[in-house]
Amino acid sequence: MALTHDANITVTIFLSALAVPRASFTTPMIIVALSNNSLNGQRTATYSSLSEATAANTAGYIHANTLAMVTRMFAQSPSPSKVKVGYIDDVSSPAETEAAALTAIIAHDPDFYIVCYESRTDADTIAVAAAIETNDKKMLGIFQSSNADWKTSGQPSAFSSAAAYERTGWLYHDTDADWNDMGWAASRGAFDPDFQSAPWYGRVKSGDSLTTDISETERQYIFTNGANVGLAYATEGYFVDDGKNIVGRALYEIVTTDWFATRVEEDIAAAVVDTSNRGEKITIDGRGQAMILAILNGRLAQGQGANHFDPDPEEVSAVAETITAADIAAERLRFTVRAKLAVGARTFTVNVYASQTSLAA
C-alpha cells in the first residue's frame, strides 16, 4: 500500500464510562404544567435546537406556549446550546407543589442552572423562588410579574416573604402573555462563566415592549422595589436594566460566587478521586495544603481572567489555615479565600466644560 498522510489523524475509543460532566451554568430549565405538556412521558425534556422543540409540539408533547418560550430563548444572540423543560404535576389531586416539582426535576436531570416558570401568578413564582433559595443545588430563578404595585412606592405586599431572596430576579412587564423573562434568562445565561463574567443588564432580542409606557418616576420605583424592566436603549428595542435580584444585588455577583464554589468543589473532588486511584492520599500537612492551594489559586486566576474578580493580585488570596488537633481528628484541611468582585459599570457621568477661555489660563 502506498504511503499516505492518513496517520496524521488519531482516533482513540475508550470502552468505559464517561467522566461526570461539570455543572452547566448556561442551561435553562423551564417549568411548565403537565396538563398541557406530556413531555412524552418524561419528567424533563431537552431540546438542542428550535426544530427539535417544534417537532415535539407537532407530536403533542409540548404546548404552543411552551414552544413560544423555547423559541424566545433560542432567538437570543448568543443563544443557549440547549433548553430544558420540566413539568409540575397539576393533574393529580392534590396538585404537586412547586417545591416538590423542582425536587423531582432535579432528581431526573440536575444539569441546569437558570430556572424559569410559565406561570405569571406571583404566588407561584414566589413558591419556586423559595424552593431555589433553600435547595442544596445552586440555581438562579428568573421570573416575570405584571403586578402594578412595582411602579409605586413600596415593594408589592405579595412579595414580602421573598424580600430577602438572593437567588431570584423578577422582570416587570404589564402583559402576562409575554415571554421576555425567558429571553432575558437565555441571553444572559448563554455566556459561560468559565470564560466570561457577563453582566445581567443587556438586550433581549424579540423582546416585547410594555403595552403602556411608564414614567421616569415609575421606572425608579421598579428599581427601588427590587424588580427589573426592559426599555429601549441606544439601538436596542428592549434592554433590561439593571439586572439585579429582589434584594438589589447584581445577579452577576450571584453567578460569580456560584461558579467559584461549584468549580472548586468539582476540582477538589476530582483531586480526591485521582489520588485515591493512585493509592495515595491528600495528607493533612503542608504537602496536602499545597495541593489544594494550587486548585484555589488556579480558579482565582481563571476568575480574574474572566472578569469575575478584580485583576489586582492584592485583591485576591487563598490561605491555608493552621492545622489543629481538631482538624487532624476530623480529617480536615481548612482554607480561607478572599476575592474582590469586579463591578460592571452601567451608569456614566461625563462633565464637559466649553468656553472661549483657554483651559490653561
Q: Are residues 70 and 148 in the same domain?
A: yes
> Within 13 Å, how many C-alpha atoms sit on residue 238's CB side?
22
Q: Are residues 32 and 62 in the same domain?
A: yes
For residue 193, give its domain range. 28-250
Q: Are residues 36 and 144 in the same domain?
A: yes
Between CA 282 and CA 320 the distance in angstroms is 14
Q: What percent of the chain has pLDDT over 90?
A: 88
124 occurs within a structural domain: yes
Indicate the residue among 222, 250, 278 that finishes a domain.
250
Q: Are residues 199 and 277 in the same domain?
A: no
5 occurs within a structural domain: no
Q: How many domains does the chain have?
A: 2
- The 10s digit of each residue's pLDDT in 259-290 is 999 999 999 999 999 999 999 999 999 999 99
**Least confident window among 4-13, 121-130, 258-267:** 4-13
Q: Are residues 217 and 268 in the same domain?
A: no
Indicate the residue among 223, 250, 277 that finishes a domain.
250
Between CA 113 and CA 200 the distance in angstroms is 15
Q: Is this model's pTM higher than 0.75 or not?
A: yes
14 occurs within a structural domain: no
Q: Are residues 193 and 72 in the same domain?
A: yes
Q: What does the pLDDT read at residue 22?
A: 74
Q: Are residues 200 and 274 in the same domain?
A: no
The yes-or-no verdict on residue 20 having pLDDT over 60 is: no
Q: Are residues 145 and 241 in the same domain?
A: yes
- The 10s digit of each residue's pLDDT in 151-179 is 998 899 999 999 999 999 999 999 998 99
Q: Are residues 223 and 291 in the same domain?
A: no
- The 10s digit of each residue's pLDDT in 304-356 is 999 999 999 999 999 999 999 999 999 999 999 999 999 988 889 999 888 88
